[in-house]
Structure 1
Amino acid sequence: MIASRRPVIVGVDGSPAAFGAVRWAADEAMRLGQPLRIIHALEVHGPYEEVSDEHGLAIEAANEIRHWQPGLEVTTTTWHGEPARVLIEQSRSASLVVVGSRGSGGFHSLLVGSVGVHLASHAHCPVLVVHHAERWAGPESPLPQREPIVVAADGSDDAEYGLSLGFAEAASRGVALHAMRTWHEPEHRRGRSADPAGLAAAAERALTADLEPWRGKFPTVEVVPRVEHCPTVPAMLDAARDALMFVIGARGHGGFPGVRLGAVALQVLEHAGTPVLVARRS
């Protein structure tokens, strides 16, 4: 049987952050056993179409990556079209989309409405947003290797998919996986006293149950369960500080139907200082 060929795609715009994202994308492609496709989107008026790479940005990045990872299959494409739209369309056939959080031209800062948020909301595959990617723009700056993968596990369908991605990342890198779940007292208790010990124990049981099947599939991964009583977003941002990568489902429990990127995922995506992998399904 021939393995499915679903490339890792990454957008470039000539900025150091974009090339740092390319290095992350190449590393992910090698781990996934998939080719790398480097895409340059020209935000100009005209039809949405593939064009010749007059600027040579994608080709230049590809040449650097071929030197760094000589065994990796690398292709390039250049398109007329708004960068987010181009990458979202290309994500239909991809295993992962990677983008830097800051760039120039079409790939500018990752605030609300920017390329990274649009991708995390609408891509047809997981999205890796590499914050401060300029740190890894040069070959003299090795990618992180020893820090743990941290994954948010709230029991939702997307969080389950995030666990599968997080375990696979931890296994391929030989690092620990920290799986975190937060709990808090219900907002409306109608005068009833809270039971912190009971709520914490329930959260621990739920997390243990969520982790059990993945421990069996990835027996070599060191798993560190983390159950915390605190607001969800601050806890996640604190955990992300010492992480190699933070993995979160596009939507968690309590989201509104039709919302493609939950409020918690959006806040983590905007404020985390470490690369964030958003678990999106096709």
Structure 2
Amino acid sequence: MIAGIDGSRASMGALRWAADEAVRLRQPLQITHALGVTGQHEPAPDDAEVAVRAAVEARTWHPGLHVTTCTSLGGPARVLVEQSRHASLLVVASRGTGGFDALPVGSVADQLAVHAHCPVLVVHNAQRWAEPTAVLPQHQPIVVGTDGSEPAQHALELAFAEAASRHVDLIAVRAWQEPPRTWGFVAGPDRIATDADRALTAELDLWRTKYPGVRVEPRCVHGTPAPVLLAESRDALMIVLSPRGTGGFGELRLGSVTQQVLDHASAPVLVARR
């Protein structure tokens, strides 16, 4: 498991989430600090100590946690994408020390959500958990969005695993809409809603068998997917989504629904990259 940091309060808050995940899943944690590209950024004298100081903090929070550090020259996104090839999870803050505060998600988090080789947890407003006395969410449900696609199955698997390890409820959300009016027969709203509900139930059956201890609530909601997910996850511990749904251009970018949720969610977003 890897936590990407830059010394900001937000990255320290994201590190707390990473340390909590590592302890709960009994995995070692690597803290990575990328110094930037030579010539574009002159490392400060104490830059090499950022990851070491962060490791000291992480061991203070969890004395038994096995922590290693890595300080590397290179752009943060490039360094973390490469390291993600051998990681089970990558955790970063939605924004760090650079960029434009008006933008919802920093470029590093955005690029990792698109290109990482493992699941990526993007922690929004992570500075909320930078203080050692701050309490991470523990009892809220996890929300997962699904549309029946193959990538959504990986999101469901991750969501069930997270809910099982945290002993919390899972809310599985599927949005449905009436198709555009065309010539010929068009099913009515009641039929579309019933079909969506049956499809969601069938999707969940496999994972309910694998994770019998997880209490899951299926919710089929009329509306556009991104606003529906944002509304359903207002009080969630985290949101789990696949990078893409049923349409689009492969790995060129995030799916529009995932991008909108990543941009506007207040809860951490777990992007279920493989």
| Pairwise same-fold verdict (TM > 0.5) | yes
In 2, are the aligned partners of 1:10 and 1:37 still within 8 Å (CA)? yes
Cα deviation 1:68-108 (Å, max 9, x = unaligned): 11111100010111111111111011001110012214897
Match of 1:115 in 2: 108
Q: Does 1:42 align with 2:17?
A: no
In 2, are the aligned partners of 1:250 and 1:262 still within 8 Å (CA)? yes
Match of 2:163 in 1: 170
Shift of 1:180: 0.4
In the alignment, which of 123, 144, 158 is matched to residue 151 of structure 2?
158
Match of 1:12 in 2: 5
In 2, are the aligned partners of 1:40 and 1:79 still within 8 Å (CA)? yes
Count, aligned residues? 270
Q: Does 1:73 align with 2:63?
A: no
Q: Does 1:205 align with 2:237?
A: no
Q: Does 1:240 align with 2:241?
A: no
Q: Does 1:137 align with 2:130?
A: yes
SS of the residue 1:154 aligns to: coil
Match of 1:33 in 2: 26
Structure 1, gaps ≥5 residues long: 1-7
Q: Distance in 1 between matches of 2:248 and 2:170?
A: 26
Q: Distance in 2 between matches of 1:44 and 1:248?
A: 31
Shift of 1:194: 4.3
Query: For the structure 1 residues 172 and 109, does the alpha-carbon distance in structure 2 shift closer, same or farther, using more than 3 Å as the test?
Result: farther
Q: Does 1:179 align with 2:175?
A: no
SS of the residue 1:143 aligns to: coil
Match of 2:211 in 1: 218
Q: Distance in 1 between matches of 2:65 and 2:59?
A: 7
Q: Distance in 2 between matches of 1:246 and 1:26?
A: 19
Match of 2:140 in 1: 147
In the alignment, which of 244, 247, 251 is matched to residue 244 of structure 2?
251
RMSD, aligned CA? 2.0
Overall identity of the aligned pairs, in %: 59
Q: Does 1:271 align with 2:264?
A: yes
Query: For the structure 1 residues 120 and 201, does the alpha-carbon distance in structure 2 shift closer, same or farther, using more than 3 Å as the test?
Result: same
Q: State TM-score, norm by structure 1.
A: 0.90
Query: For the structure 1 residues 58 and 81, does the alpha-carbon distance in structure 2 shift closer, same or farther, using more than 3 Å as the test?
Result: same
Shift of 1:11: 1.2
Q: Distance in 1 between matches of 2:171 and 2:142?
A: 6
Which region of structure 1 is more displaced relative to structure 2, 251-260 or 204-213? 251-260
Cα deviation 1:210-256 (Å, max 9, x = unaligned): 10011011111111000001111110111121100000001111223
Q: Distance in 2 between matches of 1:107 and 1:76?
A: 28
Q: Distance in 2 between matches of 1:191 and 1:243?
A: 41
